[in-house]
Structure 1
Amino acid sequence: MTATQWQNILVLCTIMGFATMEYVSRRYKNTVTATGNDTKLEVFMFLSVLAITQPLAIFVTSKLGHAWFPDYKNALADLPWWGMVGILLVADDMTQYWWHRLSHSPLLWPLHRAHHSAEYMSIRVTFRNNFFYYLMMPGLWAAGALLYLGFGGMVYALYIAVKLLVILGAHCAWRWDEPLYRVRALHPLMWVLERTISTPATHWAHHAITNEDGVGHYKGNFGNLLFLWDIIFGSAHITRQYPARVGLIDDKLFGQERWYHQMLYPVLQSKREHSALRVGGSIYAGPETLDTKS
């Protein structure tokens, strides 16, 4: 089998594994309250990343490479595996950290708010975003350039498989880290792990509907594969607890935005009151306080 086939098998097994745990643990049935609007957004975004955005980035970078830098085709193919992984962590994962962090600024928030509008956590939320959020993601284009330079094969395949394992696990309705925190002998290991990769506890805090409970931290915990970037760049918040609710306060007050506005802004724009998804609109600046028990 080719490296790409191995990658696809590993990713599929990861998705099926977490989906099974969501079902077996009853976390999906008890906590995921998705509407038809949510489902359309999540399905169409997953398909667009798989069928349009990622192939487009690889195709365009390959064409530009052949046109402008033909002598550099596979120039880095002989790097040791650890060298390739180190470059991928910086060019792909660290740039994604900064793109994610910048996407919480007023200018770029409309391209990312769809990811936070879900009122539940599940692997189905993982690729829930605006179409242009992924199309403009620097790490995706950097990965395409690295593939042209020779970063294919099992190194890249395993890197992608591991990254998806961590990211899907961080969004999963089944909180895999929760029982591990209860085992006293594992406390040192978990201390290291939660500062190295994204976990449900740290990433759920990023999706919290409020910061007022001391658990939520939607203005930090931006890491995707490595939570270490949050530690290094001062945006980490670790509590080993989970927010009572996730989502957006403005959606609770004014109703959820339509899936096509969330996915295709600024091409399609919302008419909702207090909407960031229209030209001239702004992030809701009302009170942060919300009854998290209702």
Structure 2
Amino acid sequence: MVNLIQNVVLVAIILFFAVLEIRSGKHERFNATKDDTKLELFMFLALLAVSQPFIFGVTAKLSELAMPGQRGAWAHLPWWAMGAILLLADDMTQYWWHRISHSPLLWPLHRAHHTAHYMSIRITYRNNFFYYLMMPGLWASGVLIYLGFGDAYLVYIMVKLTVILGAHSAVPWDAPLYRTKWLHPLAWVLERTVSTPATHWAHHALTNDDGIGHYKGNFGNLLFVWDLIFGTAKITRRYPAKVGLPDDLVFGKERWFVEMFYPLIHSRRVHSALVPGGRAYAETEVDGDAMPGLRAAVSKT
């Protein structure tokens, strides 16, 4: 029941942001390929219909075996205590999961999220199929739901989904806060509390050379506070001109089914992180002949 209600709420929030993007006209500039659309659609459906129900079902069974008779045992906790526990068990662990997913070992499971050359709510759940199956926060949330956090989780996830979708939206809702001087104090608080388009777009930037991009930071999902605490925050109140991955410009984009189902399917690209032993292009030793090609590809976008 929790999963069903969450999905209904998620669809409603998505429709709200979708209307904003369509009315703004920004969706016409995405130039998304068929592979982009397939990856985003199938990953969204897989998360809602397969990954999350599977995780919540397994955690319920395992919790019953490990903690018999404890179903709903924590339901008496006040709402603020449940919220704090969820922020630690789900959002903080997701910060660390996101952060280590930028390491060579786990990058293939998260790379798909950064191959989009546009920002939009449609890329929010654009990841490898196994990325969510291994996400610690989802497993922890399943245990907490068993312990009685069902209603609290629905409220929590509604807030979190709104923030995350807003941070990816093609319509930067925080821009008016930066343009209006008397709203600057509010902007200062918000951008240090939750993820905003300005801080999250920087994480997706095509390059860090413009002083805006921050590929190795701004990992927060709901709370940006984690980036401040753990030293990965960068706040510029500006938006990168381009997003995506430089190696896609040099070698061409990966096929959607490779991005979604690696390591079950391997890439056939000349250079790829989606092969056994492969590494992200930026982490390889690029020779003098290849580097000018990369710089030229980036500068043309």
Query: Which TM-score applies when normalising by structure 1?
Result: 0.95
* 1:139-288 aligned within 5 A: 139-153=137-151, 155-284=152-281, 285=284, 286=286, 287=291
Q: Distance in 2 between matches of 1:207 and 1:52?
A: 27
> Corresponding residue for 1:16?
15
Q: Distance in 2 between matches of 1:260 and 1:42?
A: 11
Q: Distance in 2 between matches of 1:76 and 1:148?
A: 9
Gaps of 5+ in 1: none
RMSD: 1.5
The alpha carbon displacement at 1:68 in A equals 2.0
**Cα 1:46–1:91, aligned 2, differ >3 Å: closer, same or farther?**
same
> Corresponding residue for 1:138?
136
Deviations for 1:131-178, whole angstroms, at most 9, x for unmatched residues? 11100000010000101111012x211111110000000000111111
**Cα 1:9–1:280, aligned 2, differ >3 Å: closer, same or farther?**
closer
Q: Distance in 1 between matches of 2:22 and 2:229?
A: 36
Q: Which runs of 4+ in 1 moved over 3 A?
A: 2-10, 286-294
Gaps of 5+ in 2: none
Deviations for 1:206-237, whole angstroms, at most 9, x for unmatched residues? 00011111000011000000001000000000
Larger displacement relative to structure 2 (103-112 or 66-75):
66-75
Larger displacement relative to structure 2 (66-75 or 261-270):
66-75
Q: Distance in 1 between matches of 2:5 and 2:137?
A: 22
Q: Distance in 1 between matches of 2:6 and 2:116?
A: 28
> Corresponding residue for 1:65?
63
Q: Distance in 2 between matches of 1:219 and 1:179?
A: 27
Conservation of the 8 A alpha-carbon contact between 1:121 and 1:171: yes
Query: Which TM-score applies when normalising by structure 2?
Result: 0.93
Conservation of the 8 A alpha-carbon contact between 2:167 and 2:200: yes
Number of residues of Structure 1 aligned to a counterpart in Structure 2? 291
Q: Are residues 1:82 and 2:80 paired?
A: yes
Q: Distance in 2 between matches of 1:165 and 1:269?
A: 34
Q: Distance in 1 between matches of 2:3 and 2:115?
A: 33
Conservation of the 8 A alpha-carbon contact between 2:177 and 2:186: no
Conservation of the 8 A alpha-carbon contact between 1:112 and 1:133: yes
Paired residue secondary structure (1:150): helix
State percent identity of aligned pairs: 63
Conservation of the 8 A alpha-carbon contact between 2:177 and 2:187: yes
